[in-house]
Chain A
Amino acid sequence: MHTTDICVIGAGPVGLFSVFEAGLLKMRCHLMDALPQVGGQLSEIYPQKPIYDIPGYPEVKAQQLVDNLMQQIAPFQPSFTLGERVAQIQGNAADGFTVTTGDGTAVSCKVIVIAGGLGCFEPRKPVIERLEDFEGKGVSYIVKDPELFRDKEIILAGGGDSALDWTILLSGIAAKVTLVHRGDTFRGAPDSAEKVFRLAKDGKIGLVLKSNISRIEGNGHLKNVHITDDKNGVSILNADHLIPLFGLSPKLGPIADWGLQIEKSAIAVQTTDYATNIPGIYAIGDINTYPGKLKLILCGFHEAAMMAQSAFRYVYPDQRLSFKYTTVNGIHSF
């Protein structure tokens, strides 16, 4: 089991910056995120959009801000568990906490900081009967390891960039790839769309347009996929795997079950230090709520600083904290 001072759940901008504020006070952090990359909403929803209200930056692209934050916290050597959703927390401030992901990764820590934003980014699922029964048994929503699909028959569904990209990539690996799309055009990256149409023309992939997946069947593992077109014609294709790719959307998820005080999908906190109702657990950034709360990166950064000062007493119960400036002491002599 990995051991750290502070386990930060959520590696969005606020979770990332908390590593800096904790690091100044000599507290080590481990960050966990359900997404395979850091940056939260910034990297997932709007990486190329400019942000204008970060102090000191008249304009900064969202991904650039994330990259800068990573550079800023690098001296404190945070560790990461990415691509895994935190499912459970156990323990208390006196004996320490254990944070566990759905994949079984466990982290032991003295303080938990929840910087979970709007919740876990989770795949949007099409409405198909018994879809959930086949999850992990032929149905998946992300491609973690393309090699798993080698020589298999794959059906992808969706019309966005990721559907196009994975169709192209898997066409070179799988035995057979079919892309099912509701429309008849793709407005994603024109290059990718062109490639997909060419692959279809050359008979390298199946392309089924103006159609939806209407039914899936199998005995313990996915076997057949029914595809219904605009005119209600149904065709049935054999498939080892179905990969619906309809983007990600945030859901509060497991955080709701941890005994925290939840108000409208957010965690209620004290405004002195952003502590939750459970001692030793803090909530900062978009995930928390209090009178006057603003869901802004700027406000999350402030909350991270206040949290770190307060968390210090759990990590170093015998030490007193004195306030210092980074300009006077640099970042390593605190």
Chain B
Amino acid sequence: MMVPITIEDRSGQRQLIEVPDDMSLSLMEALKAYEYNILATCGGMALCATCHVQVLEGMEKLPPLNDVELDMLDTLPDVTANSRLACQLRIDKDLENAVFRICGQEI
């Protein structure tokens, strides 16, 4: 199935993207595939926090944060209660209709 997700870029522009849920992609990889400008230095190992996103809508449906994710987010100065690492979110129906704002560092 295709999962519809709304992405807000750094300029506030929103776009609806549709991402397949059967390719075991992370949200970070989906953002890269859509050519959003995110650094994602560590390639998804929860080691760099440059894939930081804020969940604007749909937080309650997302799986809880794991320890490594919490750990990494703790190192960020601009973290909020709605912060997540895009690389730690698998694309599946939990993410359906969620709205994410890109916060991580640009390339």
B22 CB to nearest A CB, Å: 27
**0 or 1 for each of B68-84: is its CB under 8 Å from A? (1 = yes):** 00110011111100000
Please provide the chain B residues from 12 to 46 with a CB less than 8 Å away from any CB of chain A in the complex: 39, 41-42, 45
- Chain B residues with CB under 8 Å of A183's CB are 74
Please provide the chain A residues from 243 to 262 with a CB less than 8 Å away from any CB of chain B in the complex: 244, 246-247, 249-251
For residue A116, CB closer than 8 A to chain B, the reply is no
What total count of A-B pairs have CB within 8 Å?
A: 56
A118 to B50, CA, bound (A): 13
Cβ-closest chain B residue relative to A187: B71
Report whether B76 and A46 are in contact in the complex, using a CB–CB cutoff of 8 Å.
Answer: no
Report whether B107 and A41 are in contact in the complex, using a CB–CB cutoff of 8 Å.
Answer: no
**0 or 1 for each of A35-59: is its CB under 8 Å from B? (1 = yes):** 0000001000110010000000000
A248 CB to nearest B CB, Å: 9
Task: Report which of B45, B47, B50, B74 forms a contact with A160, defined as CB distance below 8 A.
Answer: B74
Report whether B77 and A127 are in contact in the complex, using a CB–CB cutoff of 8 Å.
Answer: yes
For residue A320, CB closer than 8 A to chain B, the reply is no
B69 CB to nearest A CB, Å: 10
**Chain B interface residue count: which class?**
10 to 19
Given A45-B41, A45-B48, A187-B67, A246 and B105 touching (CB < 8 A)?
no
A183 to B71, CA, bound (A): 11
For residue B91, CB closer than 8 A to chain A, the reply is no
Cβ-closest chain B residue relative to A49: B45
A187 to B39, CA, bound (A): 24
B67 CB to nearest A CB, Å: 6
For residue A125, CB closer than 8 A to chain B, the reply is yes
- Chain A residues with CB under 8 Å of B107's CB are 264-265
- Chain A residues with CB under 8 Å of B67's CB are 187
Cβ-closest chain A residue relative to B80: A182
- Chain B residues with CB under 8 Å of A186's CB are 74
Report whether B47 and A187 are in contact in the complex, using a CB–CB cutoff of 8 Å.
Answer: no
Please provide the chain A residues from 177 to 197 with a CB less than 8 Å away from any CB of chain B in the complex: 182-183, 186-188
Report whether B79 and A247 are in contact in the complex, using a CB–CB cutoff of 8 Å.
Answer: no
A179 to B45, CA, bound (A): 28
- Chain B residues with CB under 8 Å of A293's CB are none
- Chain B residues with CB under 8 Å of A160's CB are 71, 74-75
Given A45-B41, A45-B42, A46-B42, A188 and B71 touching (CB < 8 A)?
yes
For residue B85, CB closer than 8 A to chain A, the reply is no
Report whether B48 and A187 are in contact in the complex, using a CB–CB cutoff of 8 Å.
Answer: no
Please provide the chain B residues from 53 to 107 with a CB less than 8 Å away from any CB of chain A in the complex: 67, 70-71, 74-79, 105, 107
Report whether A126 and B78 are in contact in the complex, using a CB–CB cutoff of 8 Å.
Answer: yes
A159 to B75, CA, bound (A): 6
B39 CB to nearest A CB, Å: 8
Cβ-closest chain B residue relative to A182: B79
- Chain B residues with CB under 8 Å of A313's CB are none
- Chain B residues with CB under 8 Å of A251's CB are 105
For residue B7, CB closer than 8 A to chain A, the reply is no
Besides the contacts A160-B74, A187-B71, A188-B71, what 9 more A-B pairs have beta carbons closer than 8 Å? A49-B45, A118-B41, A124-B75, A124-B76, A127-B78, A246-B76, A249-B41, A250-B41, A251-B105
A-B contact pairs, 16 of them (CB 8 A): A41-B41, A118-B39, A127-B77, A157-B77, A158-B75, A159-B74, A160-B74, A182-B74, A182-B79, A187-B71, A244-B77, A247-B75, A247-B76, A249-B41, A249-B48, A250-B39
Closest 5 CB pairs of A and B: A126-B77, A159-B74, A247-B75, A160-B75, A246-B77
